[in-house]
């Protein structure tokens, strides 16, 4: 029988999921770059191109909000490991106890979208889109 403490197993599983969400966020950013370049090259209408980037920006914020659930639990487990305490897995039950309503979720999505590491590529892309239309006119 495996003697690995439950906290270690849960931490390892959640850390892998956390890393996958980080990769997913990078894919969303890359998609935004590719679609922006393609849209500029195809002289897509300004409003449509900005809307696509804005939608991907918000989707990235939603993705990072999901990822933050993992971070909260990972930090709890790390504290427990440092204190040498043992608990049972509680990822979903902890989330259910703290889950905000619809307005709270939307606020969290927007707050995560406005974090510098999330907003950086999208703001730059929107500026580039604007400049491309100013100089192509």
Classify residue 1: in a domain, yes or no: no
Q: What is the mean pLDDT of residues 107-121?
A: 95
Classify residue 130: in a domain, yes or no: yes
Nearest to 73 by CA among 23, 11, 21, 17: 11
User: What pTM does this model have?
Assistant: 0.86
pLDDT 10s digits, 41-68 = 999 999 999 999 999 999 999 999 999 9
Domain count, the chain: 1
Q: Is the pLDDT of residue 1 over 50?
A: no
CA count, 13 A, side-chain hemisphere, 53: 28
Q: Domain of residue 65: give its range.
A: 6-136
86's CB contacts (< 8 A; 6+ apart) are 5, 6, 7, 80
Between 29 and 90, whose confidence is greater? 29
Query: CA of 25: how far to CAs of 58, 62, 65, 92, in Å?
Result: 11, 10, 11, 22
* Burial (0-12, 13-18, 19+ Cβ within 10 Å), 70: buried
Classify residue 39: in a domain, yes or no: yes
Classify residue 74: in a domain, yes or no: yes
Classify residue 31: in a domain, yes or no: yes
């Amino acid at each position: 029988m495996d003697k690995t403490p439950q906290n270690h197993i849960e931490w390892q599983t959640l850390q892998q999921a956390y890393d996958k969400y980080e990769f997913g966020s990078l894919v969303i950013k890359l998609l935004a770059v590719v679609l922006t370049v393609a849209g500029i090259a195809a002289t897509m209408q300004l409003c449509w191109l900005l809307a696509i980037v804005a939608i991907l920006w918000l989707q990235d914020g939603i993705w990072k909000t999901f990822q933050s659930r993992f971070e909260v639990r990972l930090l709890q487990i790390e504290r427990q490991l440092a204190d040498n305490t043992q608990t049972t897995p509680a990822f979903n039950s902890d989330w259910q106890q703290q889950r905000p309503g619809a307005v709270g979720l939307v606020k969290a999505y927007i707050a995560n979208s406005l974090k510098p590491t999330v907003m950086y590529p999208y703001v730059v892309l929107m500026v580039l889109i604007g400049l491309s239309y100013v100089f192509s006119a």
